[in-house]
Structure 1
Amino acid sequence: MSITTGDSVTLEYTGRLDDGTVFDTSQQSVAEEAGLAEAQPDREYTPLTVDVGAGQVIEGMEEGLIGLEAGETDTLTIPPEEAYGQPSDENVEEFETDELRELLGGQLPEEGAYLEAQDGSQGEVVHVDDDTVRADFNPPLAGETLTFDVEILETN
């Protein structure tokens, strides 16, 4: 039976960028080969279960799952507009250096460090000088076309 909106779907997946770099997977062996397992040693790599249409995964993934069946494999190519969007200058925040230093208990982050906003989002510090600190809160995969190899294990 084909997957439709409202179905619960369990799948294995591997996500790649246009250059072939693996950025996420549900499979331990792929994570080890790509060096992801080293970067996240506490993560468990297990099949993903999603409720199609519930917004648990990016739009392009949900749309790509519709019509597939248990046991089927497919490659989904998802443009930025159906993934994490395009990077936006609106997502780059600027802080006064002295105010940020005070907020951080006297510490000042270096370029490449990450700041966490009150909503839990993380921004990479992209500029630090005597007057201003800029942090980029765009999603790391913004602007990227994503390719997912999926294998549908089960549908309910």
Structure 2
Amino acid sequence: MKQVKEGDVVKVHYTGKLVNGEQFDSSVGREPLEFTVGAGQMIKGFDDAMPGMNLGEKKTINIAPEDGYGPRSEEAIIEFPKENVPADMVLEPGMPLTLSNQAGQPVPVIVVEVKEDIIILDANHFLAGQELIFDIELVEIAE
């Protein structure tokens, strides 16, 4: 039986959950996820779990924050001048926004707090600092 090795293009079905059981993503009911093993297209813990898997195999993996989306960073908490927000825009804690970085690339952020002159924003990935659990099923190894 063929086993996955680094450089293989694979298709997997997956369900991602937090330690408390809350599901944050799944390919079930959609097309399987396709990626090249070891090419850095996936978080490290997911990528590292693939070599040695057999076609049709299912496994559950636990991924520590450092092999997932990294630890939460205080540097990703941003104070944004309220004057840079359109006056008619109502901001509330928990609201998602998209800013642009210096290169013009979109940066998703969450409103943490709205003060008189500034808005506190969190640019951490929503899964940063979280231990992740993935149920993976290998459905194809490309020839």
TM-score with structure 2 length normalisation?
0.89
Instruction: State how far apart, in whole Å, the 1-side matches of 2:12 and 2:3 are.
Output: 14
Query: Mapping of 1:80-119 within 5 angstroms?
Result: 80-98=65-83, 100-101=84-85, 104=86, 106-118=88-100, 119=105
Query: Runs of 5+ in structure 2 lacking a partner?
Result: none
Task: Name 1:152's counterpart in structure 2.
Answer: 138
Q: Which residue of 2 aligns with 1:57?
A: 42
Structure 1 runs not aligned, ≥5 long: 29-44
Amino acid at match of 2:140: E
| Residues 42-96 of structure 1: per-residue CA shift (max 9 Å, x gap) | xxx2211111112221111000111111111111111000000111111111112
TM-score normalised by length of structure 1 = 0.82
Moved more, 105-114 or 130-139: 105-114
Alignment of 1:4-153 (within 5 A): 4-28=5-29, 45-98=30-83, 100-101=84-85, 104=86, 106-118=88-100, 119-153=105-139
Q: How many Å separate the matches in 1 of 2:23 and 2:90? A: 32
Structure 1: distance between partners of 2:61 and 2:109: 28
The secondary structure found in structure 2 opposite 1:117 is: strand
> After alignment, is 130-139 or 113-122 more displaced?
113-122
Number of aligned positions between the proteins: 137
2-structure distance, mates of 1:105, 1:115: 15
Structure 1 CA distance for aligned equivalents of residues 89 and 53 of structure 2 = 51
In 1, Cα distance between equivalents of 2:42 and 2:50: 11
Q: Give the distance between the partners of 2:61 and 2:80, measured in 1 at CA.
A: 39
Question: The residue matched to 2:49 in structure 1 has which SS?
Answer: helix
- CA–CA distance in structure 1, aligned partners of residues 10 and 99 of structure 2: 33
Q: Distance in 1 between matches of 2:89 and 2:23?
A: 34
3-state SS in 2 of match to 1:74: strand
- How high is the sequence identity, in percent, across the aligned residues? 36
Residue 121 (structure 1) shift: 2.0
- 112-121 vs 124-133, which moves further: 112-121
